[in-house]
Amino acid sequence: MSGPGADGRGPGMTPFRLLLVEDSVNDAALVTAELEQAGYLPTARRVETLDALRDALATGPWDLVLCDYRLPRFSALDVLSLLHSQGGDVPLIVLSSQLSEDQAVTLMKAGARDCFSKDRMARLGPAVARELEETRVRRERTRAEVDRDILAKASELLTGSLEQAARLDQLVQLMVPRVADWCAFFLQDPNQGGLRLVALAHPDAERRAHAWKLDQRFPLDPQSAAGPAYVLRTGQPEFMPDVRKRSEPITRDVAHQRAIDGLGLRSVVNVALPGNDGRLGVLSMGTLGERTLAPVDLSLAQELARRTGLVLENARLFQEAREAVRLRDEFLTVAAHELRTPLTTLRLQLGTLLQRTEAHHLEPEVVTRLERSVRQVRRLGTLVEGLLDVSQLSSGELSLMPERFDLEELVSEVLDRYQAEARAAGCELRQSTRRGLWGTWDRLRVDQAVGALISNALKFGPGRPVEVDVGREGGFARIQVRDRGIGVPVDQVERIFERFGRAVSSHSYGGLGLGLYLARRAAEAHGGRAWAESASGEGARFTLELPLEKETRE
């Protein structure tokens, strides 16, 4: 141990908080002197009554209680009973001028950590050393459990479906009063700049209301030398075990500083909430009265801030992505509507010209070019309708206009429309023998879905036949389109039905990647389904199922 200082106390002495339950001033002085001789520097408080003891315990934490066995109106057993009722982890050592063996056994069974006579003070130093060390280990273990519990509950809240405000409000509740007397979140205000209080926990409703009013009346100075604004600006955590020793005021506004001082703060921890492009806000917590924060509290606050910042950043990115999707869908809707009118006009004009080709005896090459133009305009119109359908699907379910029709007849009409495209691709379109299969569906949506399956087969199976079969399977009508093209890798079978989903490069194969997506959505809107079966290099078979009417099934 280092030598004594000018006051007789060695610079290496161990400080701790001591509560003396003793009615003798002289005995209390002897205890303190013995502890200092043993290398301790106790911050001691002496009490003589149970009420005074109760008040002292409320201002804790205390590291040790030294108690006389018998005082005028109570005994050490009453002190133990009070300690147990308070629920704190404070060891008690009993000192007495006269203490029988039976009394010592009773005290130890009741929870005393040690008992010995005042004339054996040499035992005090080692007994205190043992209890302080055991208490430290117990408290560290208990605190680790508290931290794990808080972080586990925080993770549940952060990954839950709560809105941000409710989530932050519940997070600060986790810290009070287990770790701190109050806890708050400040977030950056994108509209006004600076920080604004968004969540606050304190057991006293009046103090909470006062803190909210204080935040509204005195916005935090972004250039302050301490406090949440300083932490936000610098990113450096702030840990003040005793704010009364702060070297600089938190604000240059005298009235604001006076209001902060009036809160009665003792310890403060401020840590930044990290984001990808900077700091999102600040987690702040503190204590009042005699309670103080420790480095372990700073570590807990930093971990909680890290997790909270990650979730807030992900929420921000999700919101930005959702807004980008909304803007894209809005653009698609406007673009599709704007393209509809000129395309309709162009299709009608080309159709009129094509009808007059025989009367005007146009050359075959001109007729061929007109037919090709009509097909391309029709194809462009299909793409525009697909874009419009996708934009509508983003805001709700696909709308249906059911009517009763023959499904096989509709498939034949679609195949007739694609004959020219099939010839250009070198494919033969084969349809199963027609038997008639009636049902009630949305004719336009089914037409689009069948067209998407056939167009897909022609695109990926050029030069080979495409087979189309219409039949029934239980209570469903089933349309199957089989090609013998490049096939679809197994891990891409579901992806091709996603919006803008592809299994191949868009540079090699055209289209927007919407046809199969709309086909599946049309089937699902009817209560059916659409799927694909394939092996790479062996072609693919696409199936569209639509529910039949009850009487059709029987």
Cβ(439)–Cβ(549) under 8 Å?
yes
Sheet holding 195-201, edge to edge: 195-201, 182-188, 278-288, 265-275, 238-240
Residue 218: name the closest of 257, 248, 186, 183 by CA.
257
Domain ranges of the chain: 14-139, 160-310, 320-395, 402-547
User: Distance between CA 373 and CA 524 in Å, rounded?
Assistant: 34
459-510 pLDDT, tens per residue? 888 999 999 999 999 899 999 999 998 888 887 888 888 876 555 544 444 4
Cβ(478)–Cβ(441) under 8 Å?
no
User: Distance between CA 27 and CA 33 in Å, rounded?
Assistant: 10
pLDDT of res. 500:
64
* Helices vs. strands in the chain: H and E counts, helices first: 16, 17
User: Distance between CA 284 and CA 23 in Å, rounded?
Assistant: 42
Extract the residue ranges of the chain whose pLDDT is less than 50.
Answer: 1-9, 505-510, 554
pLDDT of res. 510:
46
Q: Of the CATH numbers 3.30.300.180, 3.30.450.40, 1.20.80.30, 3.40.630.30, which one belongs to the domain with range 160-310? A: 3.30.450.40
pLDDT of res. 289:
83
State whether CATH 1.10.287 applies to domain 320-395.
Answer: yes
Place of tokens 């990808």: 276
pLDDT of res. 513:
64
pLDDT of res. 225:
84
CATH no. for 14-139? 3.40.50.2300
In a 3-state reduction of DSSP, which class is residue 145?
A: helix
pLDDT of res. 278:
86
pLDDT of res. 61:
80
Cis peptide before 177 (omega within 30 of 0): yes
Place of tokens 């084969």: 430
pLDDT of res. 505:
45
DSSP string, 74-141: -BHHHHHHHHHHHT----EEEEESS--HHHHHHHHHHT-SEEEEGGGGGGHHHHHHHHHHHHHHHHHH
Cβ(154)–Cβ(166) under 8 Å?
no
DSSP string, 516-542: HHHHHHHHHHHT-EEEEEE-TTS-EEE
For 161, the token pair is 């479906």
Residue 198: name the closest of 161, 228, 178, 155 by CA.
228
For 510, the token pair is 């055209």
User: Distance between CA 212 and CA 196 in Å, rounded?
Assistant: 10
User: Distance between CA 196 and CA 217 in Å, rounded?
Assistant: 11
322-369 pLDDT, tens per residue? 777 777 777 766 666 667 667 777 877 787 787 777 677 778 887 788
CATH topology of domain 402-547: Heat Shock Protein 90 (3.30.565)
Phi, psi of 339 (to 5 degrees): -80, -25
State the Cα angle at 263 between 261 and 265, rounded to 5°: 80
Beta bridge partners of 534: 540
pLDDT of res. 389:
66
Q: What angle do the packed helices 124-158 and 25-37 form, to 10 degrees? A: 80
The total number of residues written for the chain in this structure: 554
H-helix or E-strand containing 17?
strand 14-21
